Amino acid sequence: MNIILVSGRSTTARTISLDGRHLAYACAGLTLAIIIAAGALNLAIQYFSPVLPFMAQRNGSLQQNREQSESYMRDNLNAMAKRLGEMQAQLLRLDNLGERLAKLAGFKPQEFQFSEPPGRGGALSTVPSRDFSLNDLSTQADSLKRRVDDHGDKLSVLESLLTLESARNKLIPTMLPVLGGSYNSNFGWRIDPFTGRKSYHEGIDFAGGEGAPILAAAGGVVIYAERHSQYGNMVEIEHVNNLTTRYAHASRLHVKVGDMVLRGAKIAEVGRTGRATGTHLHFEVLQRGVAVNPAQFLQLPR
């Protein structure tokens, strides 16, 4: 067999002659190379065959652990978001409750801004800061929720007490019975305008024009509403704590016995009926039937 080799670098061709012996050597060498490669491949398979399942199992285990970790993180974040949502709702309820309490206690709305976060600040700490872990956040959230629940319960009780106190105050004669509130004669000893002698005045005389509205000093039940020989047209209202208010010398009555009246309701009109020298309202407060100084209850102008 002749093999002709042609090169681009040379202008002449080279000829190689191969006989049967050369071909036999080449075939033997190729066969030997195939046998060696097959043996090496067999050894590799035998060596790595126990490791391959372990590697595959390990990779699968790592993937499973990663998926479990991601699922655990999602579950915790969802639980944290739920707790935060509950606390936001609780804080909104506390804001509304705080505003109602401020009104019941008589505070001005601008004195307590419940809808705004409180001011906080301070210098940057020299102690190195650190990030919160998921467990830290969960612990803080649980602690905050317990405090919010506790404060909410206490504020609810306080609201009930203030509401009850406010209701009681509306049933105690604290409101001036005549708009303006100027008065002509105090409670106690004075000179009687008819006899000129020293006498005990059991009420307060409020100035007022003819027909001016007479208002209930507190809520209660009307127990007297008719003409009286001394007091003229008179109204009596019964309140809590065995208190009774009396409104005398009216020109006209607007209520009758048995009527329920609220604090500030118009019950009569100022006049000069009965034993009176001029137009005014004679106002009394009686406790268990005994006249007491109305100034103990009313906020009189100075």
Closest CA relative to residue 205, chosen from 279, 301, 266? 279
- Same domain (yes/no): 92, 10: no
Q: What is the band of 236 on the pLDDT scale with cuts at 50, 70, 90?
A: very high
Q: What is the band of 218 on the pLDDT scale with cuts at 50, 70, 90?
A: very high
pLDDT, tens digit, 9 for 90 and up, residues 156-209: 766 666 665 665 667 789 899 998 868 888 899 999 888 889 999 999 999 989
Helices and strands of the chain, counted as H and E runs: 3, 15
Domain count, the chain: 3
pLDDT, tens digit, 9 for 90 and up, residues 81-92: 677 777 767 777
- State the distance between the two ends of the chain, measured CA to CA, in whole angstroms: 142
- Same domain (yes/no): 77, 43: no
AA identity, residue 95: D
> Could you tell me the pTM of the whole model?
0.52
How high is the pLDDT of residue 177?
95
CB 261 within 8 A of CB 238: no
Q: What is the band of 14 on the pLDDT scale with cuts at 50, 70, 90?
A: low
CATH of the domain at 263: 2.70.70.10
How high is the pLDDT of residue 247?
98
How high is the pLDDT of residue 300?
62
d(CA 293, CA 47): 112
Q: What is the band of 256 on the pLDDT scale with cuts at 50, 70, 90?
A: very high
How high is the pLDDT of residue 219?
92
CB 240 within 8 A of CB 171: yes
Residue 124 forms part of a structural domain: no
- Same domain (yes/no): 59, 158: yes
- Same domain (yes/no): 29, 66: no
Q: Is the pLDDT of residue 129 over 80?
A: no
Burial of 250 (0-12, 13-18, 19+ CB in 10 A): buried
How high is the pLDDT of residue 144?
75
The range of the structural domain enclosing residue 145 comes to 55-111+135-170
- Same domain (yes/no): 158, 216: no
Token couple for 228: 């009286």
pLDDT, tens digit, 9 for 90 and up, residues 1-10: 555 555 556 5
- Strands 252-253, 266-269: pairing is antiparallel
Q: What is the band of 24 on the pLDDT scale with cuts at 50, 70, 90?
A: low
How high is the pLDDT of residue 73?
73
Mean pLDDT of 88-107: 71
Q: What is the band of 145 on the pLDDT scale with cuts at 50, 70, 90?
A: confident
d(CA 268, CA 211): 8
**Cβ of 103: how many Cβ atoms within 10 Å?**
14
- Same domain (yes/no): 196, 292: yes
